[in-house]
């Protein structure tokens, strides 16, 4: 079997250097060798740990926020409950358990998961045994009805392109070959219409990132929500407006060279929340402030929830609950780096935990 490195090298030899987005797309979702296609990357034994894998409290509170938003919008009798990139299905399992007590919510929901990896779809089916799940490849495939959606660490896994400013043009950072090894290089300087607005706040040699898949995905979820009602909670690491190289490769919880062994490390980049907000507004929705995860979870009562769980625990289990609470909320851990964005129809209130 040819390795992904060999395949990429052959492609570069024949067609020339490829964009970082093409490289990331193959590394993450190549049908045979892709990182998400091949393995189970999450958890303490995997390469990285996400918020729902740290504690059940994360999915529970997201669930209660979405359920309250469903109530605030008149409790539509049938709606889509969807998740983008559900990983092992842990967040959804916690969300569903926590919302069981909300009258009518479970009868009204139709569960849809948008997942590209066949092996992760199988894991999600196991985690969500007992629920009726429909998998989809895209938001367009979801039914035309109110949409309540969550996406945790989905947008950071979408391939990015990188550009280095050169005068009033931009040179794209590409992946090429030098002495048989993958290496970064820069393409020729050219104008980039999508980066026109960045000429005002950057200087020569600054690097900016573009995530080509993020605007169309945000537009389709926002259009559904504007038309039929609903809400989206998008949680990810990143900030307002991209500046600098944020590409990161993680293997066994440690940073590695992103070009070294393609397909074996998780590749992510910071999410540019400004783009998500302007696309949501353009589609007729309102959006919340980009809110630090720690603030969002505190507003939803994570400390009270932790106290309630702590009453039943002692020893190592109690220590691990205390550590999980800190990890999710503390500004030195995930509390500040991770942000939450809420998107709703322009006429309705935001989900609890968020303000405009």
- Contact between 117 and ligand SAH (CB under 6 A)? yes
**Cβ atoms of residues 168 and 202 within 8 Å:** no
- Residues that bind ligand SAH (rule: CB under 6 A) add up to a total of 18
Instruction: Tell me which residue has tokens 């020339």.
Output: 16
Q: Which one among 17, 46, 52, 238 touches ligand SAH, defined by CB under 6 A?
A: 52
- Contact between 218 and ligand SAH (CB under 6 A)? no
Q: Which one among 59, 86, 294, 335 touches ligand SAH, defined by CB under 6 A?
A: 86
Looking at beta carbons only, is 157 or 164 nearer to ligand SAH?
157
Could you tell me the two tokens for 48?
């990285």
Q: Which one among 115, 172, 209, 272 touches ligand SAH, defined by CB under 6 A?
A: 115
User: Segment near ligand SAH (CB under 6 A), from 2-10, 109-117, 177-185, 223-231?
Assistant: 109-117
- Contact between 89 and ligand SAH (CB under 6 A)? no
- Contact between 87 and ligand SAH (CB under 6 A)? yes
Q: Which one among 4, 81, 96, 120 touches ligand SAH, defined by CB under 6 A?
A: 120
Count Cβ neighbours within 10 Å for each residue of 142-165 and write b for 16 or more, e otherwise.
bbebbbbbbbbbbbbbbbbbbbbb
* CB proximity list for 54: less than 8 A, separation 6 or greater: 324, 327, 328
Q: Which one among 17, 23, 33, 42 touches ligand SAH, defined by CB under 6 A?
A: 42
x/- track of binding to ligand SAH for residues 153-172 (CB under 6 A): xx--x---------------
**Cβ atoms of residues 4 and 258 within 8 Å:** no
- Spatial separation of the C-alpha atoms in residues 187 and 88, rounded to whole Å: 38
Could you tell me the two tokens for 275?
């783009």
Q: How far is the CB of 95 from ligand SAH (least distance, A)?
A: 12
**Cβ atoms of residues 167 and 102 within 8 Å:** no
- Spatial separation of the C-alpha atoms in residues 261 and 27, rounded to whole Å: 9
Could you tell me the two tokens for 324?
């999980």
Looking at beta carbons only, is 151 or 280 nearer to ligand SAH?
151
**Cβ atoms of residues 237 and 339 within 8 Å:** yes
Q: Which one among 19, 24, 33, 36 touches ligand SAH, defined by CB under 6 A?
A: 36
**Cβ atoms of residues 342 and 230 within 8 Å:** no
- Contact between 53 and ligand SAH (CB under 6 A)? yes
- Spatial separation of the C-alpha atoms in residues 118 and 7, rounded to whole Å: 22
Binding residues for ligand SAH (CB under 6 A) = 36, 42, 50, 52-53, 85-87, 91, 114-117, 120, 152-154, 157
């Amino acid at each position: 079997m040819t390795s992904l490195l060999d395949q990429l090298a052959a492609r570069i030899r024949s067609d020339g250097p490829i964009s970082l987005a093409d490289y990331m797309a193959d590394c993450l979702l190549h049908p045979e060798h892709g990182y998400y296609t091949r393995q189970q990357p999450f958890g303490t034994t995997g390469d990285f740990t996400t918020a729902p894998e740290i504690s059940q409290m994360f999915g529970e509170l997201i669930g209660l926020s979405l359920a309250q938003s469903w109530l605030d919008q008149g409790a539509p009798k049938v709606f889509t409950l969807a998740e983008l990139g559900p990983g092992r299905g842990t967040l959804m399992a916690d969300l569903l358990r926590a919302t069981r007590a909300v009258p009518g919510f479970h009868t009204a929901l139709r569960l849809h998961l948008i997942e590209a990896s066949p092996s992760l779809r199988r894991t999600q089916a196991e985690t969500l045994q007992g629920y009726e799940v429909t998998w989809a490849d895209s938001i367009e495939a979801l039914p035309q009805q109110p949409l309540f959606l969550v996406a945790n660490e989905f947008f950071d896994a979408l391939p990015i392109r990188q550009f280095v400013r050169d005068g009033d043009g931009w040179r794209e950072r590409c992946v090429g070959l030098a002495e048989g090894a993958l290496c970064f290089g820069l393409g020729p300087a050219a104008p980039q219409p999508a980066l026109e607005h960045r000429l005002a706040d950057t200087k020569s040699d600054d690097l900016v990132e573009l995530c080509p898949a993020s605007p169309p995905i945000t537009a389709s979820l926002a259009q559904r929500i504007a038309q039929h009602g609903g809400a989206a909670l998008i949680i990810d690491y990143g900030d307002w407006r991209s500046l600098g190289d944020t590409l990161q490769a993680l293997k066994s919880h440690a940073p590695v060279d992103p070009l070294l062994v393609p397909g074996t490390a998780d590749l992510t980049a910071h999410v540019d929340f400004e783009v998500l907000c302007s696309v949501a507004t353009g589609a007729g929705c309102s959006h919340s402030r980009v809110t630090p995860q720690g603030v969002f979870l505190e507003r939803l009562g994570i400390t009270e929830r932790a106290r309630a769980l702590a009453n039943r625990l002692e020893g190592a289990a109690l220590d691990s609950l205390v550590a999980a609470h800190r990890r999710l909320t503390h500004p030195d851990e995930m509390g500040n780096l991770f942000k939450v964005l809420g998107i709703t129809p322009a006429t309705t209130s935001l989900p609890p935990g968020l303000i405009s």
